[in-house]
């Protein structure tokens, strides 16, 4: 990993979206894409930009993720039914161990930093 500062792009991404795997989809036909700006040599730290279209899918976080939502609106629904909604301009943390549903309510774009212990 370089010791120089690096930039995370605030611009919309270019290139193709990938469908969320069918076995994880809950609703809709969500598509996602991302661009990693930095990955540590050991693969435990990753930072970049992510985009997703409307829909929802199951998630099981083994990592901790810090997000800054640049555009759109998302909802995270825990396995026990508790939900939190986030809109453009908000930052949030998804802790390791979170299990539930990631739902894109309006096309979303975020900056992310993921740490895998």
Could you state, in order of their start, the residue ranges of all structural domains in the chain? 41-115
Q: Which residue has the tokens 């975020």?
A: 110
> For residue 12, what pLDDT is reported?
79
Structure tokens at 92: 């949030």
Q: Is the pLDDT of residue 4 over 70?
A: no
> For residue 3, what pLDDT is reported?
65
Q: What is the pLDDT of residues 9-57, one digit of tens each?
A: 777 788 889 999 999 999 999 999 999 988 999 999 999 999 999 999 9
**pLDDT tier at 101 (50, 70, 90 boundaries)?**
very high
Q: What is the pLDDT of residues 58-96, one digit of tens each?
A: 999 999 999 999 999 999 999 999 999 999 999 999 999
Structure tokens at 27: 């609703």
Q: Is the pLDDT of residue 106 over 80?
A: yes
What does pTM read for this prediction? Answer: 0.90
> For residue 16, what pLDDT is reported?
87
User: Coil, strand or helix: which one is 80?
Assistant: coil
**Domain over 41-115 is classified CATH 1.10.1040.50:** no
Q: Which residue has the tokens 């539930």?
A: 100
pLDDT over 90, % of the chain: 84
CB 93 within 8 A of CB 66: yes
Would the CA dihedral through 5, 87, 107, 82 be positive or negative? Answer: positive
């Amino acid at each position: 990993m370089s010791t120089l500062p690096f930039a995370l792009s605030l611009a919309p991404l270019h290139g193709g979206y990938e469908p969320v795997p069918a076995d994880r989809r809950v609703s809709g036909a969500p598509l996602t894409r991302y661009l990693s700006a930095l990955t540590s040599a050991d693969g435990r730290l990753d930072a970049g930009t992510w985009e997703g279209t409307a829909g929802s899918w199951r998630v099981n976080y083994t990592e901790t993720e810090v997000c800054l939502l640049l555009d759109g609106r998302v909802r995270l629904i825990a396995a026990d039914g508790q939900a939190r909604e986030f809109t453009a301009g908000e930052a949030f943390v998804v802790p390791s161990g979170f299990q539930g549903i990631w739902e894109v309510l309006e096309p979303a774009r975020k900056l992310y930093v993921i740490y895998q212990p």
